Amino acid sequence: MDYLDSLFYAVNQAQEAVLQCLKTKEARAIIKEKDTDLTRKVDLIAEEKIEESLKNEGIEAYLISEETSIKKIGRNLKPQLIIIIDPLDGTRNFVNSIPFYSISIAVGKVKNEDAQLNDLFIGVVKDVLRGDVFYAVKGEGSYYNNEKIKKENSFYEEDKPLISLYTYGNELPLKNLSTLLKKFKIRVLGSLALELCYTALGRLDGVIDARGKARIVDFAAGKIILEEAGGAISSLNGKPIEASLKNVKSGFNLIATKNMFLHKTLVNILKG
């Protein structure tokens, strides 16, 4: 079965739903509050549209989302697939009319009714407002609007590297933070999935999330897209991020870069 086409269909349907939500204040309403985040009506609308679309495509899978945790779709009592969705990554940007938010879906293979982060084999991220699509299939590379992303360094190698840095809620040692500010240009864009894709493409050189709040739904699709483009992603100490795909509540730290050289540089800076 061509899962990629089904995922494209699902993200396109969700995109249309989110664009319709731009017209209403009700879509910004808070539905529930969680320890680290808020769920707004637009999140649920997008999630429901993705679930509906996948069902219409005949997909049978465990469905994992930050909004409703885990459920099964299809008739198979023991699905062989697990689908990780973030129906709207960058909801706060949506609420504040900042044009940078995305929809992401990743697919993994289930083994013994579980799946690990390394079991992912497809990732799709769509920029809601620009319509840009990033996707990857394990072993086949990454693509940006159907053009293969080259495994190369960023566009402006003569400048200071440009990274996105999330630190609030987790204070980095002053020495480490000072070094980062001296050696790198900093941006915080507000959609981790899209920032990982920008890193894969070379628009960003890297992303650091030191908050301990990045969840699997936030980075699952972006991870495979970045890795298939030749990039690297790990925990802050440089070790692989290991987790069950069903673990939607835990938060992680991460470093993601376009190339291994920069990855080692950032790990060493954070180690002090």
> Which residues, listed in sequence order, are joined to residue 69 by a DSSP beta bridge?
65
The rounded mean pLDDT for the chain is 91
CA diameter of the chain: 55
Cα separation, 62 vs 244, whole angstroms: 13
- Ramachandran region, residue 91 (left: φ > 0; alpha: ψ -120 to 50; beta: rest): alpha
Report pTM: 0.93
Q: Are strands 61-65 and 81-89 parallel, antiparallel or unpaired?
A: parallel
What's the pLDDT band for 170 if we cut at 50, 70, 90?
low
Pick the CATH number of 162-271 from 3.40.190.80, 3.30.70.141, 3.90.1150.10, 3.40.50.720: 3.40.190.80
> Which residues, listed in sequence order, are joined to residue 233 by a DSSP beta bridge?
256
Cα separation, 12 vs 111, whole angstroms: 29
- State the pLDDT at residue 155: 46
Per the document, the length of the chain is: 272
Pick from 212, 215, 197: nearest CA to 256: 197
Residues 79-112: pLDDT tens digits? 999 999 999 999 999 999 999 999 999 999 998 7
Cα separation, 143 vs 78, whole angstroms: 31
Q: Across the beta sheet with 142-144, what order do the strands follow?
A: 69-73, 61-65, 81-89, 102-109, 120-127, 133-137, 142-144, 147-148
> Of residues 152 and 98, which shows the higher confidence score?
98
- State the pLDDT at residue 26: 92
- State the pLDDT at residue 249: 84
Q: Which amino acid appears at position 134 of this protein?
A: F
Helix, strand or coil, per DSSP, at residue 133: strand
Residues 106-129: pLDDT tens digits? 999 998 778 999 999 999 999 999
Residues 15-37: pLDDT tens digits? 999 999 999 999 999 888 766 67
- State the pLDDT at residue 178: 81
Residues 202-261: pLDDT tens digits? 999 999 999 888 999 999 999 999 999 999 999 999 999 999 988 888 899 999 999 999
Cα separation, 39 vs 25, whole angstroms: 15
Q: Which CATH class is domain 3-148?
A: alpha beta
Contact present, 267 and 236 (Cβ < 8 Å)? yes
Sorted by where each begins, the domain ranges of the chain are: 3-148, 162-271
200-224 as b/e: b if 16+ CB within 10 A: bbbbbbbbbbbbebbbbbbbbbbbb
